[in-house]
Amino acid sequence: MVERPPQQAIDLLEKAVERSKRRSSVRLPLAFARDQVNEVARPPLARLLQGGGEVRIKVLLTILMMATKHPHVTRVPSRDLAAMLNLPDSDGAGARRVNKALSDLADVNLVRREHRPGHVPSTTILDPGGSGEEWNTEQLSGTTYITLPPDLWRRGWLIALSGRALALLIILRENTGGRQKGAWVPGIRHRQYGLSEDTWTKATKELRDAGLLDVDEKVFSFQGEPRRRNIYTLHLARLGMFDPGDLTQLN
């Protein structure tokens, strides 16, 4: 069950959004969530989720939110990020978990870290698609990106949702292309996301329980035979209308 995080953590995330002066949604390239190149799909999002990657995903998304303009550099102490993400012992074990996450992100060319004695390390966001190239959201155009609203952070949803639920939210956002109406996920596209069936099923349940997703089974005819499809409808507007836990009663 999705529960409302402690107010202190929500306040820290809200202040981070305010300090960023972000006026628009966070943008991600399609390649972050969907691998249309390799036969065995390994998009960065699915790779980050492997091996208990919840902190990796939340750290990356948060610094993406904070670094609004090219060259997308942040200088945030690890203990502060740990407190924003409501990690236990933010000054100790929590900060170490954040440092490990940042190291993992650097290993897969999603960020670049620069250390100077006596200074907070700087973190530069690289292409979330995994190319290792410099990242500039201003170069994205049309429908070539996935958008996430600031309310995902502002109201604490980023903390309340698990890593797999956040991953599926991003995937379904990509699948619908930002449309309000629901959409089904074709088999080929499903494989391109790289999530296991178990992860997909558990994340679907969590988003439904949180009140952010409806799944309706539709029957259609194909060559005279009945076929069933799951139609996924995201309710991202609710991120700004409700706090985590408030929507449980809708389900």
Residues listed for the chain: 251
Backbone conformation region of residue 244, classed left if phi is above 0, alpha if psi is from -120 to 50, else beta: beta
* CB 49, CB 199: distance < 8 Å: yes
pLDDT for the residue numbered 249 = 52
User: Would you state the structure tokens that stand for residue 208, as one six-digit string?
Assistant: 């439904």
Distance, CA of 156 to CA of 19 (rounded, Å) = 16
pLDDT for the residue numbered 143 = 63
Angle value at C-alpha 106, between 102 and 112, nearest 5 degrees: 100
What is the block-wise mean pLDDT of the chain (251 residues), using blocks of 10 residues?
92 96 91 94 96 96 94 96 98 98 97 92 95 86 83 97 98 85 91 96 97 90 74 94 79 52
- Taking the CA atoms of 201, 206, 212 and 218 in sequence, report the sign of the dihedral they define: positive
Single out the residue of 142, 108, 149, 147 nearest to residue 125, CA to CA.
Answer: 108
pLDDT for the residue numbered 182 = 87
Angle value at C-alpha 225, between 221 and 227, nearest 5 degrees: 60
Q: How many CB atoms sit inside 10 A of residue 96's CB?
A: 15
Distance, CA of 20 to CA of 86 (rounded, Å) = 19
pTM: 0.93
pLDDT for the residue numbered 2 = 87
pLDDT for the residue numbered 201 = 97
Name every residue whose Cβ is closer than 8 Å to that of residue 167 and which is 6 or more positions away in sequence: 33, 45, 46, 49, 57, 195, 199, 203
Residue 116 buriedness (CB in 10 A; 0-12 / 13-18 / 19+): exposed
